[in-house]
């Protein structure tokens, strides 16, 4: 009898744990996670819809922001992050904005400084750095928008530093004659990059990868100038992130491959053609969408760079749309400054609509 009882006890020691674990998933081991696939599933969704999680447009204009900020209802005001330098932020910024560096974005998410119950409005000088942040925030589930053309779309006031950056870029069409209409088609298929942060969720991986990427760039983000690209376009894998009609007219950088927005970046589409042994250059009309794409590609493990200012920066007059135009409406009533000597200037401009 005792011998039988001992056998039952031994059996129960093995059976009971399996019964209680029935229906529960075993913890996923880091080595069993395909980190690329987890991030790509998020990227597939985001860059196909190209909207915020709540369905709002990714980009917004200063006129829309102005209407919201002056409607007398504080409850719908966005949480505004300004990524410019501290001194330029002090010279003039949108009221209520918080000055933050791109490199501190993830840490400020982790410490709860960035709210999830409000729209996040990202602002920089030209809309390109802010776009970088917008892509990451939206992929992490925040409702984030980029202010088109940044502070250059708000004012060109000499008192607000950095608001002449766009006007300096569109002065010439130095590479307009080098655009071609001959199509290029990618054919070589590459294995996807291997990323290994040891994290188990897409959110954790995106945070870790974005932090590591910015650290590798000294806290900045990956961009490249038109001069660098046109010196030898063949040394890069160049993505023209436009509809095919614009790819053909006004044309594209020699050798550039056409990737259609909202479809081509999917893992089951053209992502497989991106090289892992060559620098990738992405360009669009103004550098704002390409900055979002590059943030994503860098997180995925590609050596990608956004062409600063897009075609606006080197063939401005070739474009029929998507061109930077300096603001003509006065938005000074929503601006403020941390510099006492400039407060009177902004006040007078607001009163007399100068």
Domains for the chain: give ranges and CATH numbers. Answer: 33-170 (3.40.250.10), 176-318 (3.40.250.10)
For tokens 């200037």, what's the residue? 345
Q: Is there a contact between 145 and 292 (Cβ–Cβ < 8 Å)?
A: no
pLDDT of residue 53: 96
Q: How confident is the model at residue 134, as a pLDDT?
A: 98
- Provide the pLDDT for residue 171: 76
Instruction: Report yes or no on whether pTM surpasses 0.85.
Output: yes
Query: 48: which 2 tokens?
Result: 């196909």
| Residue 310 CB-half CA count within 13 A | 29
> How many helices (H) and strands (E) would you count in the chain?
12, 12
Cis peptide before 250 (omega within 30 of 0): yes
pLDDT value at residue 26: 40
Instruction: Determine the pLDDT at residue 21.
Output: 47
127: region left, alpha or beta (phi > 0 left; psi from -120 to 50 alpha): left
The pair of structure tokens assigned to 182 is 């001959």
Report the SS3 class of residue 41.
helix
CA distance 68 to 72: 8
| pLDDT-flagged residues of the chain (< 70) | 1-31, 339-354
């Amino acid at each position: 009898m005792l011998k039988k009882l001992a056998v039952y006890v031994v059996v129960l020691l093995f059976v009971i744990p399996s019964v209680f674990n029935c229906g529960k998933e075993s913890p996923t081991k880091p080595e069993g996670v395909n980190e690329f696939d987890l991030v790509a599933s998020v990227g597939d969704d985001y860059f196909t819809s190209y909207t915020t999680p709540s369905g709002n447009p990714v980009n917004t204009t200063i006129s829309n922001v102005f209407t919201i900020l002056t409607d007398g209802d504080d409850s719908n005001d966005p949480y505004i992050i300004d990524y410019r330098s501290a001194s330029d932020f002090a010279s003039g910024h949108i009221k209520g904005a918080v000055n933050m560096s791109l490199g501190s974005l993830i840490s400020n998410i982790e410490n709860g400084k960035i709210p999830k119950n409000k729209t996040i409005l990202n602002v920089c000088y030209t809309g390109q750095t802010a776009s970088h942040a917008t892509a990451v925030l939206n992929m992490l589930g925040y409702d984030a928008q980029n202010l088109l053309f940044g502070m250059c779309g708000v004012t060109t006031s000499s008192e607000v530093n950095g608001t002449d950056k766009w006007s300096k870029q569109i002065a010439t069409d130095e590479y307009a004659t080098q655009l071609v209409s001959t199509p290029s088609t990618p054919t070589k298929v590459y294995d996807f990059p291997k990323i290994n942060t040891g994290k188990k969720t897409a959110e954790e991986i995106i945070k870790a990868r974005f932090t590591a990427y910015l650290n590798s760039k000294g806290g900045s983000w990956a961009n490249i100038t038109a001069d660098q690209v046109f010196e030898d376009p063949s040394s890069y894998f160049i993505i023209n992130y436009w509809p095919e009609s614009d790819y053909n007219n006004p044309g594209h950088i020699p050798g550039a491959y056409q990737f259609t927005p909202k479809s081509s970046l999917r893992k089951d589409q053209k992502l497989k053609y991106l090289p892992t042994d060559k620098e990738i250059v992405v360009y669009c009309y103004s550098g704002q969408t390409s900055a979002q794409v590059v943030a994503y590609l860098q997180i995925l493990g590609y050596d990608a760079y956004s062409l600063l200012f897009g075609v606006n920066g080197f063939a401005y007059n070739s474009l029929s749309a998507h061109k930077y135009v300096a603001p003509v409406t006065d938005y000074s009533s929503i601006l403020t400054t941390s510099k006492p000597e400039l407060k009177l200037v902004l006040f007078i401009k607001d009163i007399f609509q100068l």
